[in-house]
């Protein structure tokens, strides 16, 4: 189990991570979310041992994770960290990049293991391609494959699918997270993508200015966001008299309700996101059809929907 206990870290006198605590069991996925600058990447670097904790402690299976003051070379054999910089060897092939991290004494096993990991990240067809000729998204997948190759006990992922186009992201996400689960690999994931969280994470940690704003199961935080930052991570929302409503919780009615005026309709996947003005503020709702700008409508708010 990864244990993070009340850790803090300051940079140039400003707290980047402030009194953060959580734990991650083997095979569990914890997603760390928050606006840019909230401390997500710094938290991962602290867990990996790239930075010294100013206060508190971090341990894996009861053993402390040490920073550069106590450990000259950061990192531990049981842990892998995939940062936003890929650190690949460009002049050798994809397979060679992955195989370089596996034992040379067992060439058959190394080949089998490399092929298995290439299948997980969807790069089997590029096995013999030089890394320098890959796209940014393909390089990101090689970096993921390298980290998975030695089957670590815990993996840290910093925006692992940020360079992946939408055509490949969904199957890649399923492949990677299902692999982690089936192999009992603990994961701490920093992400801006709700699809990483809702479908795969067991725990969600929301950071704001280095502090934990909220934590819990993704489903629970989605159903009861309690704060605009949390709601905005999941979907379009409106705050009406202090109550947060997602766009699907606001309906159009023929009678009663509250008067509003349509500003614009945006086509989405199978519906329109309709922007209206109500009491001088923007209110968003989902609707099955396009509504012209300037149309007067009536709104019904239902946060139980």
- pLDDT digit string (tens) for 154-184? 999 999 999 898 888 999 999 999 999 999 9
Q: Are 56 and 113 in contact (CB under 8 A)?
A: no
User: Among the listed ranges 68-82, 110-124, 129-143, 247-261, which one has the minimum average pLDDT value?
Assistant: 68-82
Please give the angle made by the CA atoms of 160, 162 and 164, to the nearest 5 degrees.
Answer: 95
Q: How many Å apart are CA 161 and CA 172, to the nearest integer? A: 8
The tokens for 283 are: 């209110």
State how far the alpha carbon of 72 is from the alpha carbons of 50, 61, 67, 75, 76, in Å: 10, 21, 8, 10, 11
Read off the pLDDT of residues 187-212 as tens digits, 9 standing for 90 and up: 999 999 999 999 999 999 999 999 99
Domains and CATH numbers, the chain: 2-223 (3.40.50.300), 237-301 (2.40.50.140)
**Mind listing the pLDDT tens digit for each residue in 2-48?**
999 999 999 888 899 999 999 999 999 999 999 999 999 999 999 99
For the entire predicted model, the pTM comes to 0.92
| pLDDT computed for residue 212 by the predictor | 98
pLDDT tens-place string over residues 82-126: 988 788 999 999 999 998 877 665 788 888 989 999 999 999 999
């Amino acid at each position: 189990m990864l244990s993070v206990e009340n850790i803090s870290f300051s940079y140039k006198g400003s707290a980047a991570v402030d009194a953060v605590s959580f734990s991650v069991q083997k095979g569990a996925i914890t997603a760390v979310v928050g606006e840019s600058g909230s401390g997500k990447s710094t938290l991962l670097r602290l867990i990996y041992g790239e930075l010294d904790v100013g206060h508190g402690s971090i341990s894996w299976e009861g053993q402390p994770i040490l920073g550069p003051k106590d450990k000259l070379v950061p990192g531990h054999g049981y842990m892998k960290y995939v940062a936003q910089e890929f650190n690949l060897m460009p002049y050798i092939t994809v397979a060679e990049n992955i195989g370089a991290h596996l034992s040379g004494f067992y060439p058959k096993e190394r080949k089998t293991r490399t092929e298995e990991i290439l299948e997980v990240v969807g790069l089997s067809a590029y096995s013999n391609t030089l890394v320098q000729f890959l796209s940014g998204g393909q390089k990101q997948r090689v970096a993921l494959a390298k980290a998975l190759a030695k089957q670590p006990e815990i993996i840290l992922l910093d925006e692992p699918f940020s360079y992946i186009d939408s055509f490949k992201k969904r199957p890649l996400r399923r492949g990677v997270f299902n692999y982690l689960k089936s192999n009992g690999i603990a994961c701490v994931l920093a992400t801006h993508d709700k699809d990483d969280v809702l479908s795969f994470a067991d725990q969600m940690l929301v950071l704001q200015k280095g502090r934990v704003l909220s934590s819990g199961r993704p489903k629970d935080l989605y159903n009861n966001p309690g704060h605009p930052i949390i709601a905005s991570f999941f979907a379009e929302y409106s705050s009406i008299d202090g109550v947060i409503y997602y766009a699907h919780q606001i309906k159009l009615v023929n009678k009663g309700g509250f008067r509003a005026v349509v500003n614009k309709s945006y086509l989405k996947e199978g519906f329109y996101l309709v922007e209206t003005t109500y009491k001088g503020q923007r209110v968003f709702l989902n609707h099955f059809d396009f509504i012209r700008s300037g149309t007067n409508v009536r709104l019904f708010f239902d946060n139980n929907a």
